[in-house]
Every structure is written in structure tokens, then in C-alpha cells.
Structure 1
Amino acid sequence: MSPEELHAIELLRRVPYGRVATSMRALPFLAVARHIVVDGRVVLRMHSGFGYHRACAGSVVAYGADNFNSGEAALWTVQFTGTAELVEPTTAELELFGPGPHFVDGEVFDPVYMRIEPQLVTVHTLPGNQAAGSRGSAADRPYLHAL
């Protein structure tokens, strides 16, 4: 792996959620997902009830995450692009994900898992964030939905 790819993976491990982007019915869309990194691959957990995994499976997707809500002075964003494939996670991978929510938008959470082997990796940094600390800590802004 290149130094940029290793750096992107290290950054991705710092946050638990990101967004997967692809197209569905010829229109672009973004969906939130929980992620882990295993052997240089990104493994996603999503709610199957939305059906987004069907649009992603076998397609080229982009997966991005950032620390924009962290309150840290140095902000960053990473993006991984590759083909998504549906997978059954190992016991070790399930442990890395931790427990899922009981409900998503009022539906019982039904997880589905996808793996992305990155073909293209991008990292962007925004050092010297002047707004850091002025909006309160990340703990003051809990996630409304957790996958």
C-alpha cells in the first residue's frame, strides 16, 4: 500500500460512520453506514430494509468519511472507491462492529454487510480549523441514527 492509502486507512479507523455513494435507478444517492477496516479493505454495515445494498452490490461505489463534527483543529476527509460485494462477516469482524441499533427509522434493524477493496483512495486535509471548540464538543452532538 502507498503511504497515502495507509494514511487514509488510519484516518478512517478514527471514526465509526461514513457515507456510501452510488446510483440507484439512474440517480445518485448517499447512504450512511458503519464501517471497519480489515486487511486494507473497508467492511460496511447497513440496514437492509432500505434496499440500498442492492444498488451497491457488484457496482463501483465511493465510501467517504470525515471528522468534521469532531471539534478537532485539523479536519480531514477520506474517500475510497472500489467495487462493493455482499459478504458474511466473520465472528471477529462482527466483534469489531459492536452491537447494532435495535431500530432504524422505526423498523427493526436488519444488518447487511458489504466489502470494498479500494482501487482509488483520496485524502484531503483542512489544517487550522478556526471554528474548533466554538461549537461545543462532539459529545454535545450525538448521532441521531447509529447503524
Structure 2
Amino acid sequence: MTTDERSANERLTGGQPSDERPSDEQLAVEMIGRTAYGRVATSMGALPFLALARHIVVDGRVLLRMPRGWGYHRAWAGSVVAYGTDNLSSARPGDSLWSVQIVGQCEPVEPTAAERERFGPAPRLADGEPFEPAYLGIEPQFATVHSEDGTSVHEAFAG
């Protein structure tokens, strides 16, 4: 295990040293935390549906902020959703490219004041209407982590 992996694993296990590699779910959540936005997907009326969301990572969960006016939060609350992100637009030359996806139950949440602050400023408008946030949380139950250049996912994480 590399020093970076050990450090990441200690962060994921609450600071307790461990010689075990983080699980795919832990690694995926840690990598999601490296980005600010992702895409949430579910089915609506038996058809796939995908939308953009702002996210933060809190205690191994992914919290989402999205426009309430879109109404999508009603379809996702109580459903199993997939949430994914990547570093394709932020990778520098020579960086390992990666993508992650978690799948889990999505539920409405009421973030704390500190969590709301971590989301950063909300947009003023969404589709020309005043932005009113809806917050959802996903508890990862399954994850996939991929590296495009053939690097192991644990090496991609350290990169």
C-alpha cells in the first residue's frame, strides 16, 4: 500500500491506521469528494433519466443539491439511483483519467448549516427561475471505479 493510499484509508476509517485497501465504495466516495458536480440517474416512467447535481461528501454519504423547481428530487427520493463523476475535464496532462459511480438509496436530507456552507453559493437562477435548493443523500451500496489509462484504481486514486 502506498503512503497516499494509507493516508486515504486512514481518512476513510476515521483516522485509524489500516493495512487494508479501502473498499470500492470508500474509494469511490473519496474520489467523488475531489469534484464538485456529477450526474444522478434513475428511471422515470421506465425510461432512464439523468440530471446534473452539486455534491459534497459527509461521513461516507454523498449529499446532493439541485434546483427544487426542476421537480426531479421527488422522483429520486426513496428510489435507488446512480451517481457518477469523473476528472475528464479537470485532469492535467499526465494525470490518470478516472470515473466513479455509486449506486444506493436516495433520500431527502436537511443539511446542517456547516454542510450548506460547504456546498458554496447557490446559483441565483435555474432555467430562468429563482433557485430554490432541494437536498438529497445517497448511501453507497455499490460502486465502480475506473481508470482509463490502465492504471489500477488505487494508483489512479493516488494520482
| TM-score class normalised by the smaller sequence | 0.7 to 0.9
> Is 1:49 aligned to residue 69 of structure 2?
yes
1:78-97 equivalences in 2 (<5 Å): 78-97=100-119
Question: Normalized against structure 2, the TM-score is what?
Answer: 0.76
Runs of 4+ more than 3 Å apart: none
Alpha-carbon shift at residue 70 of structure 1 (Å): 1.2
> Is 1:35 aligned to residue 55 of structure 2?
yes
Which amino acid in structure 2 is aligned with residue 57 of structure 1?
A
Which amino acid in structure 1 is aligned with residue 129 of structure 2?
E
Tell me what 2:140 maps to. Answer: 118
| Separation in 2, partners of 1:50, 1:40 | 27
Tell me what 2:87 maps to. Answer: 67
Which amino acid in structure 2 is aligned with residue 35 of structure 1?
H
Question: Normalized against structure 1, the TM-score is what?
Answer: 0.82
5+ unaligned residues in a row in structure 2: which ranges? Answer: 1-12, 14-21, 151-159
5+ unaligned residues in a row in structure 1: which ranges? Answer: 129-147
SS of equivalent to 2:24: helix
2:129 corresponds to which of 98, 107, 127: 107
| Separation in 2, partners of 1:4, 1:26 | 28
| Separation in 1, partners of 2:68, 2:46 | 20
Alpha-carbon shift at residue 59 of structure 1 (Å): 0.3
* Larger deviation, residues 64-73 vs 78-87: 64-73
Tell me what 2:33 maps to. Answer: 13
| Separation in 2, partners of 1:23, 1:4 | 24
| Separation in 1, partners of 2:106, 2:23 | 23
| Separation in 2, partners of 1:27, 1:3 | 31
Tell me what 1:26 maps to. Answer: 46
> What fraction of aligned residue pairs are identical, expressed as a percent?
62
> Is 1:98 aligned to residue 120 of structure 2?
yes
| Separation in 1, partners of 2:41, 2:107 | 14
Which has the larger Rg? Answer: 2
* Larger deviation, residues 64-73 vs 12-21: 64-73
CA RMSD of aligned residues (A): 1.4
